[in-house]
Amino acid sequence: MKAIHNPLLPRALHPGAWWLWALGLAVAASRTRNPLLLLLILVVAGFVVAARRTDAPWANSYVAFLKLGLVVIAVRIVLQALLSTRSQGNHILFTLPQIPLPDWANGVKLGGIVTAEALLTALYDGGQLAVMLCCIGAANALASPRRLLKSLPGALYEMGVACVVALTFAPQLVTDSRRIRAARRLRGRSRGSFRTTAMPVLEGALDRSVELAAAMDSRGYGRTAQAPLRQRRITGAFVLLGLMGMAIGIYALLTDAMAEAVAATALAIGVLLAVSAMAIGHQRVGRTRYRPDPWAMPEWLVTLSGVLTAGALIVAAGTGVAGLVLAGPLVVPPLPLLPAMAILAGLLPAIAAPPPSGGRRREAVPA
């Protein structure tokens, strides 16, 4: 009997739905350099993270990605200031000391004049990349990495087992380092050398990871059924061709390297081949799942919001909607109505996704 999931009851949303929603926002950010639309995407992602994140350790990754985005913007502006030329604009802001370069570096300069057009172009380009990184950070903050690995298809089973062991190593490093620092403080040693601290940390983390691998092996993890050689070759060929098709299609859609119809066809063929390879490879793995993550109406709504946002921005960029690309760096950015409404559709998970279970902080009740 199929279970009926009430969207109002607290439960964890399927991690795949969160990733599809976040990737939709990232694709939407890749289609525009309008700072107002990019800021709107950033606000949408941050609002959903604030509304549906838990208290798990990975839930704070969105702030880390925000800081990384600021670093990306700063690096982009600094490089543009050092390498910009007068041809990028006529509004000179200041002049840096110029470093002479050898003859073989003709056409490249370090320092010199810095124009307002060059800095604004760097700001918009860096902001686009920063917003895309923050969308990925939103997926990391909302989706449990272990539950995501548990949802992998059977064809990727061995990779999932290896990733689980690898994911156990990093948190154990942090736990062991805190334990060793606390033990050193109890002994009256506030500081220690890297050698006396790093070796116990690495040893403890490796021991626990090996113990986990041995426990997983004793329970039958990684056991695969026998498959004919022809089936294994077909699976490998489908996986390789599918990955190539998806890579070519995604690259072409993001960079306009070829016609959108050709890029979409390559992407569709790649996805079809990859899904076929996973379906064939799933026969080699015999495993059961205890309480698998459901895929109900909330998951469909969250995925639909990301697909709708990405699709609307792709169509708008293909039809030449004004406002997605600025006419010039010094032009006041407009706010196109239809793309903005499509981005606001990304707020749907804040309402459609069920509240997270067992991880929300309880508000303190005043005495």
Taking the C-alpha atoms of residue 173 and residue 176, their distance in angstroms, rounded to an integer, is 5
Query: What is the C-alpha separation between 221 and 269, in angstroms, rounded?
Result: 32
Asked whether residue 294 carries a pLDDT value surpassing 80, the answer given is no
Task: Tell me the pLDDT of the chain averaged across its residues.
Answer: 77
Spell 311-321 as b/e; 16+ CB within 10 A means b: ebbbebbeeeb
Partners of 112 in beta bridges: 96
Query: CA end-to-end span of the chain, whole Å?
Result: 47
- 123: helix, strand or coil: helix
Kindly state the average pLDDT of the residues 269-292.
Answer: 70
How crowded is residue 222: how many other Cβ atoms within 10 Å of its Cβ? 14
266, 244 contact by CB (below 8 A)? no
Give the model's pLDDT for residue 164: 61
What's the CA angle centered on 267, arms 261 and 273, to 5 degrees?
135
CB-facing half-sphere around the CA of 148: CA atoms within 13 A: 16
- Given a cut of 60, is residue 367 above it in pLDDT? no
Comparing 2-6, 108-112, 223-227, the range with the smallest average pLDDT is 2-6
Question: What's residue 241's pLDDT?
Answer: 83
pLDDT band at 301 (very low <50, low <70, confident <90, very high): very high
In this prediction, residue 1 has a pLDDT band, given cuts at 50, 70 and 90, of very low
Buried b or exposed e, range 243-262, using 16+ CB within 10 angstroms: eebbebbbebbeeeeeeeee
For the segment 200-243, what is each residue's pLDDT rounded down to a tens digit? Answer: 777 777 777 677 767 766 766 655 556 667 776 777 777 788 88
Confidence check: pLDDT of 298 > 80: yes
- 100 by Cβ neighbours in 10 Å (0-12 / 13-18 / 19+) ranks as exposed
For 154-170, b/e burial (b = at least 16 CB within 10 A) is bbbbeebbebbeeebee
